[in-house]
Structure 1
Amino acid sequence: METYKEAISWIHGRLRTGIKPGLTRMEWMMEQLNHPEQRLKAVHIGGTNGKGSTTTMLRSILNEAGYEVGTFTSPYIEQFNERISVNGRSISDEEITELAKKIRLLADEMEDMEFGGPSEFEIITAMAFYYFAFVHPVDIVLFEVGLGGRLDSTNIVHPILSIITTIGMDHIAFLGDTLADIAFEKAGIIKSGVPVITSVHQPEALDVIDRTAKERKAPVYLAGRDFSAEWIGSSEKGEKFHFQSAFSKRDHLETGLAGIHQVQNAALAVMAADFIRAFYSFLIEYEHVEIGLKKARWPGRFETISESPLIIADGAHNEEGIKALVQTLEQRFSNKHITILFAAMKDKPLDAMINQLKAAADQLYFVPFSFPRAAQKEDYSIFVTDTEAITDSYESIIRSFKANATQDHILLITGSLYFISEVKRSMFC
């Protein structure tokens, strides 16, 4: 393995191992790498929706305060490298190659062990831990959970703060088919004595989080009880709100991300920044929070990818995400003719997602695309009526929209973030 292309090919080749919950392989790799996970000042961020947005806003606030911030996120939208970033800038091809070479030595050795070789996600996670500990040390690292929490590869970290954004019915094949079951997996990131900030609101899920936190003597800061955000209106690019907690009172804040649901994510980020300032002596001033929030950008989250005609991409990949998206469409574009391109994974609740989109769209296209778990024509066929269709070429739909759309038209590209990634590469490469 000498080139970036070879490194990426090897990493993606590990997809064949599938999802492998459990921490045994990660713990073994960390031991061989001299425990990089123990050398980091980290925030661990889990939840069903809002992880990426919360991570981005907290990172932007910390950057504005002058701190160097590492982030580990998934999936990527434009380039694989963005999963491991410093101050929002992806690490280089050369760094990816060197990290992959190092981890491959361990992966090859693990193949003959009882627990087997690592998954793709475990490899990338190990690369991130090693990078932020030994290659490019930073002031603080924000680790986004990949799947669940309790058995997720990132859960070997012992953070200074945990964040659980929301809990919804997603990945039920792995996490369970009740909110309580899913909450149990998400609450698995709560560590002994480490505070947790959350905006979970369902009683059955919150009970699990509270019980887990109490068992581990971890203080809980709950949205609506210990801190609050009041939406006061939309701006051209984001949302305006007031924030209040025991740490601060901040009026007229504004997000750089659109959608009323982003106020909830922003409140988590502000509360986290206040906590880090109060207990870890980070010098975060009022203007750092204000400017950082407004500057925050996150690809694939109600992202305008064309101004004229208006084309927006949003990775609403589950039922809760679609609900928030439809709310944003109603709030901002109720007087527009809306065309939607939708592609999702077949293991998602397609009926619940599509029924919401039907109510918002004037024309809805279903898009089968090349990905192992992607829904195909036969999965969409039962949903086709007069205002829906299955398209073999989303490119032709986009070309036609660009040629014929007026100011009263909007094209929304939504569903799987993997689909969003493919469309953006197709449009701009």
Structure 2
Amino acid sequence: MVKTYAEALQFIHGRDRFKKKPTLVRMRQFMARLGDPQKSLTMVHVAGTNGKGSTVAFLRDLFMASGDTVGTFTSPFITRFNERISRDGEPISDDELVDLVNRVAPVVAQLDEELAEEGPTEFEIDTALMFCYFATHPVDVVVVEVGLGGLYDSTNIITPLVAVITTIGLDHMKILGDTIPKIATQKAGIIKQNVPVVCGRLPEDALAVMDQTARDKGTQVVALGRDYAVTNEPEAQWGERFAYDFDTEHWQRLQVGLLGQYQIDNAATALTAFTLAQRARGLTVTPADVRRGLKATQWPGRFERVNAQPLIAIDGAHNEPAMVEMAELLRRHFAQHDVYIVLAILADKQYQQMVATLLEVPNVHLILTQFQGPGQRAAATPAELEGAADQSDRVTMASDWPTALKTALGTMSAEDLLLLTGSLYFISEVRHYFKDDEK
């Protein structure tokens, strides 16, 4: 019997993260013994290399603006575990989490005994907690983010209203494959019979995989740049503005408070999925709701401004595709400023390419550092990162990120930008520092 919140977290985080053989059989057994709570839920399923979290946030706010109560399941968390299971943006309470753990723990113990080393993983337990929570705390729609990949992800036992695949890039290659088509095949695993699929801006070879999988499943793909389109309408304020075209929907001057061309793509992808979901439910999409929902969306750790003077932002860009987007954002919005970047990256990422991509932006100055990686995953050391920096005079090192922060603040002027980035886990640590200071 788990009695405290700390014990509940210990139970969850004490589980294996992965098993040797990927399978959904164990997850289906697990949920059957809990009464298959997922079967009572109306859901939208979101996969992709990058952009999942922001797309989930846009979907949540679009549904909420239209009057729905919305559940979300996201990963990883930025500040507290509870964020992963939220209702209308409000995380599950500590007491509710304890109650849920006590509900699933006996089933986990049974499966541990029957399956020996192959009992439920940490993420399977997270997913089970989420399904149980929303089955007993009813919502109109649950937006479910895939944890890793798609085909064998523990969330992939559902049949959603709409499936969403935001982006495809090279990440988690040891698990998902070392080419774009291999990774796309894993993501395409969430495509279900007769369920429409919305894709963001995908490489051609990835979109070909999606189209073929959809044909095999008797459905079709709606893809950004082919079936729906966006046009950037430059915005002087913090955020982005764009025009959107899909089917009979034509919108001008849609505004989002998140920065970056990729956030326009994420917003458009969410809007298309929302439109198809509402049609499937026999509901209409109204202009006022769309504008209100998109404008309201915030997502912690995604080019989030944590200080105005001097301007300090944090961003969870954690792989090479995300760094390419980041470099483009810096060129578009901060070309007239010096940009100081405190960079810390997990050692299992493509840190050589990530460092090189940032140094292609001429006004960027890097301060390479490290942080305490999650669990068994180590951060790349400053020396390893410097080895990737090709002896640039725009690169310095710091033993830890508070030292790096101090160095940057002592060097930059009032007009410059300070950005801390390289890992969502790093950003979680940094965000505590800035947000706790506000209290």
Q: TM-score, normalised by structure 2?
A: 0.93
Counterpart for residue 347 of structure 1: 348
Name the CA distance, whole Å, in 2 between partners of 1:190 and 1:66. Answer: 28
CA–CA distance in structure 1, aligned partners of residues 434 and 410 of structure 2: 14
User: Could you tell me whether the CA contact under 8 Å between 2:368 and 2:404 is conserved in 1?
Assistant: no
Matched, 1:122 2:130: no
Contact 2:108 2:120 in 1 (8 A): yes
Q: Does 1:376 align with 2:380?
A: yes
Which residue of the partner structure matches residue 131 of structure 1?
Answer: 133
1:409 aligned onto 2:413: no
The 1:247–1:36 alpha-carbon spacing in structure 2 relative to 1, beyond 3 Å, is farther
SS at match of 1:167: coil
Partner of 1:396: 403
CA-to-aligned-CA distance 1:56-80 (integer Å, 9 cap, x gap):
1111111111110000000011111
Specify the SS of the correspondent of 1:250. Answer: strand
Q: Cα offset for 1:380?
A: 2.2
Instruction: Within 5 Å, give how 1:51-200 maps onto structure 2.
Output: 51-114=52-115, 116-134=118-136, 136-200=137-201
CA shift, 1:290, in A, is 0.6
Residues 368 and 374 in structure 1, CA contact (< 8 A), matched pair in contact too: no
Task: Give me the whole-angstrom Cα distance separating, in 1, the residues matched to 2:426 and 2:20.
Answer: 20
Shift of 1:207: 1.4
Contact 2:355 2:385 (C-alpha < 8 Å) held by counterparts:
no
Q: Matched residues in 2 for 1:63 and 1:283: separation?
A: 14
Q: Report the Cα offset of residue 19 of structure 1.
A: 8.1
Is the CA contact (8 Å cut-off) linking 2:150 and 2:156 kept in structure 1? yes
Structure 2 partner of 1:282:
283
Change (3 A) 1:259 1:16: closer
In the alignment of these two chains, the number of paired residues is 428
Structure 1 partner of 2:430: 423
Query: Alpha-carbon deviations, 1:1-30, whole Å to 9, x = none?
Result: 100011112211224666873212211111
Q: Which amino acid aligns with 2:87?
A: V
| One-letter amino acid of the structure 2 residue matched with residue 89 of structure 1 | E
Residue 376 of structure 1 and its aligned partner are, at CA, apart by 2.9
| TM-superposed deviation, 1:387 | 2.5
Shift of 1:405: 4.2
Distance 1:21 1:406 in 2: 51
Alignment deviations for residues 168-218 of structure 1 (CA, whole Å, 9 cap, x no partner): 111110111111101110000000110101124322111111111001001
SS of the residue corresponding to residue 287 of structure 1 reads: helix
1:208 aligns with 2:213: no
Summarize the Cα distance change of 1:281–1:344 in structure 2 as closer, same or farther, 3 Å threshold.
same
The alignment partner of 1:427 has SS state of: helix
List per-residue Cα deviations over 1:330-360 (Å, max 9, x = no partner).
1111111211111122221111111011233
Q: Contact 1:164–1:200 (CA<8 Å) still a contact in 2?
A: no
C-alpha separation in 2, matches of 1:19 and 1:313: 35
The equivalences for 1:210-249 within 5 A come to 210-249=211-250
Q: CA deviation at 1:279?
A: 2.4
Q: What's the secondary structure of 1:186's corresponding residue?
A: helix
Unaligned runs of at least 5 residues, structure 1? none
Identity %: 40
SS of the equivalent of 1:10 reads helix
For the residues of structure 1 that align with 2:261 and 2:255, how far apart are their CA atoms? Answer: 11
Counterparts of 1:303 and 1:316, CA distance in 2: 12
Residues 343 and 21 of structure 1: CA distance in aligned 2, closer, same or farther (over 3 Å)? farther
**Partner residue in 2 for 1:14:** 15
Unpaired runs of at least 5, structure 2: none
User: Residue 112 of structure 1: SS of its match in structure 2?
Assistant: helix
Q: Return the TM-score normalized by structure 1.
A: 0.95
Deviations along 1:74-107, one digit per CA (max 9) or x if unpaired, are: 0011111100011111111111111112222122
In the alignment, the residues of structure 2 paired with residue 344 and residue 397 of structure 1 have an alpha-carbon distance, to the nearest angstrom, of 14
| CA-CA distance at 1:402 after TM superposition | 4.4
**Cα distance, 1:53 vs. partner?**
0.9
